[in-house]
């Protein structure tokens, strides 16, 4: 049996061809594929606007900047995510405030957010960054309601859930990133995620002002759109209209652009994303039924409608033993994640063991099993058999 990772990309001949076509064209970066990819991605999630960026972390950074996170801005997020989710607040000198997870969903617990909000004066907190951890969509409608009560914005970290959805109280299917309940949503195209572009990211929104802000921040703070110019045209050389070469740097931005060949790969991958999710849901169902009556199991989520299954996590007894046994069988299960507040950087900022008991209990027992669309039935059977062998069940 070949090594089985917890996640991997699948690159088809069409994907390769799409990249080659761009490499042979006139545009390596900022060509026609960038705008096309944005349009198709916005279509896929059902948002008005999409802004592509160089990676998911850049998407988080620009989102915080667009929402004016600044010195001392307090933003609430989950301790169970990739550290970039919290780091983006720090990039802008904001203050990270964690709220513990729910022990069943593993996503940020709305009641814990409420306690945080009620613990301080109104106006203390400015925003929430929830994460659709493992691909399980958070109830964004409920979060929006709470956010509105306190005047907060929401950046949804949907890196695990492109194509995922939940049903709201009006019985409407809400696709992750469609902007109905969150101000901004962000995605990553790192190879382990649903859609691979090497590196890459996307921000989606229905808010035009934020969209314009993001476009500028992505590219040095420069605009080339004359309707937004601030300088007098006299300053541009005493001409009667702005010359072709004219542009303005209006704010301190970055170079966070996605290249044209990455966009071509992203687009090609996007065309297979629905198939990929269907496959992931099938794999999840297999795990669920094979493991549900096991004595070693502490918890596994039920099968959830709309779950995008970026990860398939179970909580087990003797997790370390299982992890090692799987590795000795060439199965590279992973642990997602070490709680962010226990990372040395955050500990140095005042957090400690015991601060978030649900996140810490989860971390003690969790293990992410192999989950990717090209995992074969034979490979999955082998994974399940190895788990059962380890526990003699
Ligand atoms: C992958 C990931 C990111 C960061 O995305 P990159 O493209 O790797 O920068 C942020 N948040 C979550 C939840 C992720 O899984």
Average the pLDDT over 215-241 and give the result: 86
Contact 248, 230 (CB under 8 A): yes
SS3 316: strand
The reply to whether ligand 1 has any atom less than 6 angstroms from the CB of 81 is yes
User: Does pTM surpass 0.95?
Assistant: yes
The pLDDT score that the predictor gives to residue 236 is: 61
Distance 388 CA to ligand 1 centre (A): 32
Q: How far is CA 268 from CA 140, 161, 262, 263, in A?
A: 29, 18, 10, 8
Nearest Cα to Cα of residue 356 among 21, 97, 168: 97
The reply to whether ligand 1 has any atom less than 6 angstroms from the CB of 52 is no
Q: Is the pLDDT of residue 248 over 90?
A: yes
Nearest Cα to Cα of residue 188 among 197, 178, 179, 180: 197
Nearest Cα to Cα of residue 15 among 270, 208, 200: 270
Domains of the chain with CATH codes: 4-270 (3.40.640.10), 273-390 (3.90.1150.10)
Distance 310 CA to ligand 1 centre (A): 12
Q: What percent of the chain has pLDDT over 70?
A: 99
SS3 281: helix
The reply to whether ligand 1 has any atom less than 6 angstroms from the CB of 132 is no
Cα gap 304→285, rounded to integer Å: 10
The reply to whether ligand 1 has any atom less than 6 angstroms from the CB of 190 is yes
Kindly report, residue by residue over 295-352, the tens digit of the pLDDT: 999 999 889 999 999 999 999 999 999 999 999 999 999 999 999 999 999 999 999 9
How would you classify the pairing of strands 312-316 and 74-77? Answer: unpaired
The reply to whether ligand 1 has any atom less than 6 angstroms from the CB of 84 is yes
Hey, CA dihedral for 381, 384, 389, 392, is it positive or negative? negative
The secondary structure of residue 223, as a DSSP letter, is: E
Q: What percent of the chain has pLDDT over 90?
A: 93
Substitution candidate for ligand 1 out of 86, 138, 188, 368 with most atoms within 8 A of CB: 188
Return mean pLDDT, the chain: 96
The pLDDT score that the predictor gives to residue 242 is: 85
Q: Is the pLDDT of residue 137 over 90?
A: yes
Both tokens of 255, joined, read 């170079």
């Amino acid at each position: 049996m070949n090594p089985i990772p917890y996640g991997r990309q699948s690159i088809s001949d069409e994907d390769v061809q799409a990249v080659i076509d761009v490499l042979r064209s006139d545009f390596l970066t900022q060509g026609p594929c960038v705008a096309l990819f944005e349009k198709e991605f916005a279509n896929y999630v059902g948002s008005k606007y999409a802004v592509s960026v160089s990676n998911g972390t850049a998407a988080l950074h620009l989102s915080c900047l667009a929402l004016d996170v600044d010195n001392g801005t307090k933003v609430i997020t989950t301790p169970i995510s990739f550290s970039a989710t919290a780091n983006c607040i720090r990039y802008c000198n904001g203050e990270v405030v964690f709220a513990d997870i729910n022990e069943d969903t593993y996503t940020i617990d709305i009641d814990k957010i409420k306690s945080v909000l009620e613990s301080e004066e109104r106006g203390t907190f400015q925003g929430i960054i929830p994460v659709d951890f493992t691909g399980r969509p958070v109830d964004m409608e409920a979060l929006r309601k709470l956010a509105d009560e306190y005047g907060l914005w929401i950046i949804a970290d949907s890196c695990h859930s492109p194509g995922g959805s939940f049903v709201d109280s009006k019985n409407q299917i809400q696709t992750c990133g469609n902007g109905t309940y969150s101000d901004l949503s962000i995605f990553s195209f790192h190879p382990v995620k649903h859609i691979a572009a090497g590196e890459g990211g996307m921000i989606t929104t229905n808010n035009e002002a934020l969209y314009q802000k993001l476009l500028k921040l992505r590219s040095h703070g420069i605009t080339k759109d004359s309707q937004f110019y601030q300088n007098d045209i006299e300053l541009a050389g005493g001409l009667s209209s702005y010359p072709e070469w004219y542009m303005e740097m209006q704010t301190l931005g970055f170079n966070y652009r996605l290249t044209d060949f990455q966009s071509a790969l992203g687009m090609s991958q996007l065309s297979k994303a629905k198939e990929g999710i269907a496959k992931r849901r099938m794999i999840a169902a297999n795990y669920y039924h094979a493991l549900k009556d096991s004595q070693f199991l502490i918890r596994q989520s039920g099968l959830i409608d709309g779950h995008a299954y970026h990860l398939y996590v179970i909580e087990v007894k003797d997790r370390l033993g299982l992890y090692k046994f799987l590795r000795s069988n060439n199965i590279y299960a992973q642990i997602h994640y070490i709680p962010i507040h226990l990372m040395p950087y955050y500990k140095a900022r005042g957090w400690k063991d015991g601060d978030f008991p649900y996140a810490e209990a989860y971390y003690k027992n969790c293990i992410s099993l192999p989950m990717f669309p090209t995992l074969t039935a034979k490979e999955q059977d082998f994974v399940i058999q190895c788990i059962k062998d380890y526990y003699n069940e």
